[in-house]
Chain A
């Protein structure tokens, strides 16, 4: 069975119907996949301070004592990790970005050439594939493409494939259709 972890970076109650559809989809019994939804705004997630303790003092473990280790455990044991966020000033929410920054304990500080570029080495043997779902009622293609490119770059850094990118308007119907087909 595939495990899909959705990091829900919606920062407030602006998309309650959309989130209800997501919640419903996560409860549907499906022998092929488990949908694991993590609502980031309910958790204690602190900002990465760039201390690099997770690389040089406590390898693989962040210096912060908050809820992020639970997320990292879920993420690294998933087959697909999906960032879900409304568009915010042309990008994802700060809440989503905060969680992205905190993924760095998953990689090693050592560097190597990967895809003809310098990147950090793997810490783990296997990483989940990566996806992005951007909610944007205005459906700006420019914002979608810019955000997609940044997350594509992140997938290279995490040595994984960027296999899903959806641009939704935030309606309950689109949520239902999208999450049913994941």
Chain B
């Protein structure tokens, strides 16, 4: 069984998507008949060739970080290479993994709906979308969830809904947490990581610059 995993992060192997793919692949690899191929979508010149390989695969997963509420521009450029295959991918099971910096599921609901529609346009079978909110990074919990998603992908050729529900359980920030964040927002506490990075780059004094007015 041919399985294509596409890394849709503009940062390629340097980004966190690669770590997500690694954990997912570990789970998928527990199935002996699965032949996994991994591709980087930041190699834009290869999009047409990769789209053809995806069309010939049995299963494919596209992994990407949420950029301005949807897929990164170069991932959309890859999707556009599917135009010759519209309505013809009946043998393909297509799924997605979305990494979101903010913790709420609602931040990714719109793109999730679009990804299901994209799959429908292609005539493929929708394998589901795993949304990981609360930071782009990787941790032990996510590693285990991705491993489980990979392991449970077969025989149905789709993500297990029970595991999907655990990837980002919080739809919206609860009232109590919002109040707390609002109070903490009066202090530098919620911004500490950004402040640290700005200071490390000698850019803290310019943090509020407005260069375009």
Contacts and interface: CB of A to CB of B under 8 A. Distances in A.
| Binding between chains A and B | yes
B111 A89 contact: no
A142 interface: yes
Contacts of B118: 89-91
A50 B72 contact: yes
B119 to A, nearest CB: 10
Most B CB within 10 A of own CB, among A92, A103, A116: A116
Given A91-B70, A112-B182, 19 more contacts: A49-B11, A51-B11, A59-B208, A60-B212, A77-B213, A89-B118, A90-B117, A91-B76, A94-B76, A94-B77, A97-B68, A97-B76, A98-B77, A110-B191, A112-B185, A118-B181, A124-B210, A149-B113, A157-B68
Contact of A154 (B68, B80, B172, B185): B68
A151 to B, nearest CB: 8
Contacts of A91: 70, 76, 79, 114, 118
B18 to A, nearest CB: 13
Contact of A111 (B111, B191, B197): B191
| A interface SS class | mixed
Contacts of A110: 190-191, 194
Nearest to B207: A59
Most A CB within 10 A of own CB, among B68, B111, B207: B68
A103 to B, nearest CB: 7
Contacts of B117: 90, 142-143, 146
Interface residues of B, number: 57
Contact of A94 (B9, B15, B73, B178): B73
B65 interface: yes
Interface in B6-36: 9-11, 15
Interface in B168-190: 172-173, 178, 181-182, 185, 190
A57 B201 contact: yes
Interface of A: 47-52, 55-61, 69, 72-73, 76-77, 88-94, 97-101, 103-104, 106, 108-113, 116-119, 123-124, 142-143, 146-147, 149-150, 152-154, 157
B198 A59 contact: yes
Interface string B105-141: 0110111011001100100000000000000000000
B74 A47 contact: yes
Closest 4 CB pairs of A and B: A98-B73, A94-B77, A153-B69, A94-B76
B6 to A, nearest CB: 15
A5 to B, nearest CB: 12
A76 B182 CA distance: 27
Contact of B198 (A56, A88, A143): A56
A101 B65 CA distance: 12
A76 B194 contact: no
B178 A113 contact: yes
Contacts of B102: 111, 117-119
B62 to A, nearest CB: 13
A111 to B, nearest CB: 6
A110 B65 CA distance: 19
27 contacts: A47-B10, A47-B72, A56-B200, A58-B206, A59-B198, A59-B206, A59-B207, A60-B206, A60-B209, A61-B211, A88-B76, A89-B82, A90-B114, A90-B121, A106-B212, A109-B194, A112-B182, A117-B104, A117-B106, A118-B103, A118-B173, A118-B181, A119-B102, A146-B110, A146-B114, A150-B69, A152-B110
